[in-house]
Amino acid sequence: MRLIQLRREAQTLGWIHKLLFLVLLLVFMAVSHNVSQKAPACWAVPGALWVSAVMAQLFRPDKDFVFLHIRKPAQEIFLEYAAFSLPFILPILFSPNWYCFPVYFIGLWPISFLRKSFPSQARFVFLGRLFPPTAFEWISGFRQASPVFVIGYLTAIAFCWVKALPLFLLWLLNLLFVSFYQECEPLNLLRAFADTPEELLRKKLLLHGKILLWLNVPVLALQAVFHPVIGLAGIIFLLLQLITLAFTIFLKYATYRPNMVVKSNTLLISLSQMGVIFPFLLPLPLVMCFRYYKRAKLNLIHFLPA
């Protein structure tokens, strides 16, 4: 089912975005092959993929439907995760540490039987007091993904003495943050926040940019204490994350429909976030910011007439 959804999303993209996604996939495969040449680093990719599969299984919303209505649900889930991870794990098969390949799939099989889910209601209820109602994306997102956030953030702080690792963990957490923007608020909340498209986008950028800085700066500051040379990299990292956040907000409102969840934006958001760590993709978030800012204003005119 996920593969069908991914195919539908891919059909909505232009050929430039498809080409960029293909190049990015090839880069990931090359990185995977390079990392797998020596132990224990060879376990990094299988470990990251395995943890990602566990988190996906724990938080996937269609789990009950799959187990109730599909004939062999565990097999279906296993094949789904195997298909998504195959491009990243396959290069390991052609390395000296090829045994990581079968071990990964053996470890993947038990995940497909997990029926445990984390309830999304009444988690982090204090967030409604910590964040203003206009930051409902963050409130809703934290309540749904609180275990991932807590584990990832505490790990980033605990390992600030390890060079560059907190940056990578923050990058993963920021990818989680921008995924919050798939949910569209009700029309009355939109109109309560601003009267014009320009005012809405400006306020969203300022408010949500402050939240992003509030979450990123402490970890980056601790990393700079242990590794001062990372300080400049941290500043560049923050700037790129703010650009990615801006694009995510513009993309959301370019496709805004009241009370809808816009899943079709996932691929473009992921590509923009990749631009933070891959130099050849650096211009992508900035270019898409200008493009989708105009689209967002045009779309919001229908809901916020001046």
Q: What is the pLDDT of residues 142-189, one digit of tens each?
A: 777 777 788 778 888 888 887 777 888 888 889 888 888 888 888 888
Q: Are residues 253 and 171 in the same domain?
A: yes
Q: Are residues 89 and 217 in the same domain?
A: no
pLDDT beyond 50 at 121: no
How far from chain centre, in Å, is Cα 6?
A: 15
Q: Are residues 86 and 169 in the same domain?
A: no
147 lies in some domain: yes
pLDDT, position 221? 93
Q: Are residues 137 and 214 in the same domain?
A: yes
293 lies in some domain: yes
Q: Which residue has the tokens 């990372």?
A: 230
Q: Return d(Cα 172, Cα 35) in angstroms, integer.
A: 18
Domain boundary among 94, 117, 140: 117
Q: Are residues 272 and 148 in the same domain?
A: yes
Q: Are residues 10 and 51 in the same domain?
A: yes
123 lies in some domain: no
- pLDDT per residue as tens digits for the range 202-216: 999 999 999 999 999
Counting DSSP H helices and E strands in the chain, the numbers are 15, 0
**Which of 182, 200, 195, 196 shows the shortest CA–CA distance to 134?**
200
90 vs 63: which has the higher pLDDT: 90
125 lies in some domain: no
- What average pLDDT does the chain have? 81
Q: Average pLDDT for residues 268-292, to the nearest whole number?
A: 78
Domain boundary among 85, 117, 149: 117
Q: Return d(Cα 214, Cα 138) in angstroms, integer.
A: 13
What residues does 183 pair with on adjacent strands? 261
Q: Are residues 285 and 164 in the same domain?
A: yes
Q: Are residues 9 and 92 in the same domain?
A: yes
Share of the chain above pLDDT 70, in %: 84
Domain boundary among 91, 117, 143: 117
What residues does 261 pair with on adjacent strands? 183
State the total domains in the chain: 2
109 and 31 in contact (C-beta within 8 Å)? no
Q: Which domain holds residue 57?
A: 1-117
